[in-house]
Every structure is written in C-alpha cells, then in structure tokens.
Amino acid sequence: MTAPADVSPPVTVAASNADTAVTAPGVMTRSPGAWHRAGALTAIILWGLSFVATKAALREISPITLIFTRFAIGSALLVSLLAVRRQPLVPPRDTWASLALMGFVGVFVHQVVQSYGLT
C-alpha cells in the first residue's frame, strides 16, 4: 500500500536553536538535551540507591512496615501532584479493574518480593 501523493513524510530540519528541531509542517519539538540527560542520570542514581536504602532500612523495621511507609509517602505525593494540577483524584470507573491488577502485581507483589529478598 502506498501513501497518497498529497501526503509527504515528516522532514526534520535543524532550527537555529541547537536544542530544537522543526518537523514538517512546522511543528517545533525539543530534542533531548543536557537537562534531559541529567534528569535520566538522576533517576538512575536514585533507583540504584533505593536498593541500598531498602537494605539499610530493613535492619531497623519489618518489610511490611517499610512497604506501608513507601506506599503512604508515594500516595501523599501523587495526591498532592493531582491536586496542584487540578486533575481528578479518581480514575474513570471502567479502568479500576485493570489498574487494581497492575498495581497489585506490578507494584505490591514486586515490593514484597524485593523487601523480603533483601532481608
């Protein structure tokens, strides 16, 4: 199947700013710059340090206490972020089942296995 003759693929053209690109038909997009790489590096470092911090915390508290504390802090931060952005705190009802399953398997089970594995 071929594209219609009047539709051309996007063409990237370098803009005057080295951190910005123009894609046809004139849409400005930011290319990853130093700030993006610094943010990614920061996330990698914090993620790596979380295992060390978890191991140290597990010497003082039980895995369940640690998991509850992490979830409480994370929930408070997410609710605050949603409030600042003026977004609804409750997702649409038709997504509840899939979100609950993903949260249970992808977050809760992972945290329990990790915490007990580091004890």
Residue 17 pLDDT exceeds 80: no
User: What pLDDT is recorded for position 26?
Assistant: 58
Global pTM exceeds 0.75: no
The per-residue pLDDT for range 28-67, each reduced to its tens digit, is 566 668 889 999 999 999 999 999 999 999 999 999 999 9
Q: What is the mean pLDDT of residues 86-105?
A: 94
Phi, psi of 23 (to 5 degrees): -110, 140
For 29-89, the three-class secondary structure string (H helix, E strand, C coil) is EECCCHHHHHHHHHHHHHHHHHHHHHHHHCCCCCHHHHHHHHHHHHHHHHHHHHHHCCCCC
Reported as type and span, the H/E element at residue 17 is none
Rounded CA-CA distance 90/111 in Å is 23
Percent of the chain predicted with pLDDT > 90? 59
